[in-house]
Amino acid sequence: MDKIDAASDLILHSKRVVVFTGAGISTESGVSDFRSPGGIWDRFDPDEFTYQKFLSSSASREKYWEFSKSLWPAIVNAEPNRGHYAIAELYQMGKLDCVITQNIDSLHQKSGVPEETIIELHGTLKWVICLECGRRYPREQIQARLELGERVPRCDTCGGITKPATVAFGQPMPERETGEAEARSAACDLFLVAGSSLVVYPAAQMPLIAKDNGAKLIIVNLTPTPHDSYADIVIYEKVGEALPQIIERVKAKLKG
């Protein structure tokens, strides 16, 4: 039996599938990942974009906003790809417990998975938040201000520091989302990783929590990850190729 077939069998025999995604699922939508050759951390120095740096000076915030401004066009114009739609089909089948994503591109929402079924561990680029008064701005609004020449957008209400609603290195993780992701990982019977290098914690702990609580583990990733030895099935293929094949096989088997 090939791995696609074996993976489809695991899904068939599961009731609560958690899908865990990283930037690798969005590369086929034209959104760079972080650690592939040519990825974001190949082109920018992550140490420049920590939370502490961001808070430390207006100059570092200006650098951060330049970085964020340059990435926005690829994100705002991105469309879900076959990998995202395969996960949406899992939801349609009633098999998907939730999607835990490290991604900030809202492509799971765009593909039709309901907001309440998605846990965004690293926040979202959709909003910009004032760190002082909490006022929320749609990212498009701030992008327009940046394109008009504003370099470090401040809150219109209180003059406070604003920041995209994403989680930067060194920034506290969102408590509710992290707790919810740990609980769902511990309670699922199948944990499917799609497009993540599994090197950033606490996110990368989720597949181990699932495995330690008796779930089966499938990893679909172009390159090896540190957790491959724990997995029941590892598929070194493009998510946009492998996931649709797996789902097609599940549907064929459901038809009998």
Instruction: List the x/- string, 186-225, binding to ligand APR by CB under 6 A.
Output: ---------xxx--x--------------------xxx--
Q: Which two tokens stand for residue 96?
A: 């998907």
**Binding ligand APR by CB under 6 A: which of 28, 97, 105, 120?**
28
Question: Which residue, 119 or 155, has its beta carbon nearer to ligand APR?
Answer: 119
Q: How far apart are CA 4 and CA 86, in angstroms?
A: 14
Shortest spacing between CB 55 and ligand APR, in angstroms: 18
Q: Could you tell me which of 50, 35, 3 has the C-alpha nearest to residue 218? A: 3
Question: Which residue, 121 or 215, has its beta carbon nearer to ligand APR?
Answer: 121
Q: Give the count of alpha carbons within 13 A of 199, CB side only.
A: 11
Whether 243 and 99 have beta carbons less than 8 Å apart is answered as: no
**Binding ligand APR by CB under 6 A: which of 108, 139, 238, 249?**
238
Q: How far apart are CA 229 and CA 232, in angstroms?
A: 8
Whether 81 and 108 have beta carbons less than 8 Å apart is answered as: no
Q: Could you tell me which of 252, 250, 221 has the C-alpha nearest to residue 95? A: 250
Positions marked catalytic: 122
Shortest spacing between CB 193 and ligand APR, in angstroms: 9
Q: Does 106 bind ligand APR (CB under 6 A)?
A: no
Binding site for ligand APR (CB under 6 A): 22-24, 27-28, 33-36, 39, 102, 122, 195-197, 200, 221-223, 238-240
